[in-house]
A and B are shown apart, each in its own frame.
Chain A
Amino acid sequence: MDLPPFQELIDTHATTVYRFLAARVGFVEADDCFQETYLAALRAYPELKEATNLRAWLLTIANHKAIDNQRATGRRPRPVATVPDKAVDQPPLKERALWALVGDLPVKQRDAVLHRFVADLPYADVGAAMGCSEDAARRSVFEGVKKLRERLA
């Protein structure tokens, strides 16, 4: 199996993976999930049998790490006692509302929408990253966007 040097997976796909994670778990947790994703990928890399869609492979790992992270943060008490000593830039209200709605979509539709519009993947790759067909991916995106439109209206 001829695998490209691992650095190529960073140079080519780091932004996509980071975008996906930022949308999936938020900017605060994205850093850690990103590192866990790439560490897991680097550990498993020499054993990889199929190098035709490395981006989908990375995004599959990223999705697992996002799930792990959400389980862990669900158990952890949220730090609310501390007060920030400076203003933190927040995305505009409308944008935050949209992300909240995306987060409320059924899992399949949420992931499909994030892969398609945040990671900017073509439908074939959305399917590959989610382990379903291209058509199924297209349907999930369509259903997800339809639901978002209804709720935003």
Chain B
Amino acid sequence: MTREPRGSRELEELMTAAVQRATADFARRAEDEDLVDVAYANVDSPFGPMLTAVTDKGLVTVVIDGDDETHLDRIARDISPRILESPARLDGVRRQLDEYFAGQRRDFDTPVDWRLVRGFSLKVLQATAAIPYGRVSTYKDMAIQAGSPKASRAAGNALGSNPIPIVVPCHRVLHTGGGLGGYGGGLPMKKFLLELEGSL
């Protein structure tokens, strides 16, 4: 009986498996040695996978516009380029988002890292974070709470560039007349979230 010569495809598969194993071992050691400043992973949502990222301080971003690369590049520039994919570090966030989308969670108790937000935007988004589940507010009210009653438009911009949507619930902010306004993940998503919370 002759032995089949090992095909090059089989060798490729062995190599791929070896690289995957070595990479996983490296990632574990990097975590053990505290070398990972930002860990990210995809989390499932009714709108498809969303990239989420945490630092040692807390949740730093939730990407709902699908442009993962731009958001990760920005984190590399503004926080640290020591960024690794590390699903285990996102387990808590994943569980809470799952529960939220299933209608079983009203408040997130994951800590938030605000480092990507500064100045007026930070004030607006911190006011937004205080809007309770099932309630809505307006761009104008957020401007007032941030200390600049005339800055509705600037408040709208701050909400539009919210790096931590859903957990910092910018979807609960509407136009004064009741119009939905805008949303980074698209209006159908904003409508979905408001319906989920019983606000629409």
Binding site for B on A (CB under 8 A): 2-7, 10, 14-15, 18-19, 22, 27, 30-31, 34-35, 38-39, 42-43, 45-46, 89, 92
B22 proximal to A (CB < 8 A): yes
With A18-B22, A31-B22, A43-B35 in contact, do A5 and B15 touch (Cβ < 8 Å)? no
**Interchain CA distance A70-B26 in the complex, whole Å:** 20
Task: Judge whether B26 and A46 touch: CB under 8 Å.
Answer: no
Chain B positions within 8 Å of A6 at CB level: 81-84
A-B contact pairs, 29 of them (CB 8 A): A2-B77, A3-B76, A5-B81, A6-B83, A7-B40, A7-B83, A7-B85, A10-B84, A14-B19, A14-B23, A15-B15, A15-B16, A18-B18, A18-B22, A19-B15, A27-B18, A30-B18, A30-B22, A31-B18, A31-B22, A34-B26, A35-B22, A35-B26, A42-B30, A42-B35, A42-B36, A46-B80, A89-B6, A92-B5
How would you classify the secondary structure of chain A's contact residues: helix, strand, loop or mixed? Answer: helix
- Residues of B137-192 whose CB lies within 8 A of A: none
Which residue from chain B places its CB closest to the CB of A17 in the assembled complex? B19
**Interchain CA distance A2-B142 in the complex, whole Å:** 34
Contact of B26 (CB < 8 Å), options: A15, A38, A43: A38
- What 3 A-B pairs have minimum CB-CB distances, sorted nearest first? A5-B83, A3-B81, A34-B22
Which residue from chain B places its CB closest to the CB of A5 in the assembled complex? B83
Chain B positions within 8 Å of A14 at CB level: 19, 22-23
Contact of B81 (CB < 8 Å), options: A4, A22, A39: A4
Chain B positions within 8 Å of A22 at CB level: 15, 18
B135 proximal to A (CB < 8 A): no
Task: Judge whether B22 and A5 touch: CB under 8 Å.
Answer: no
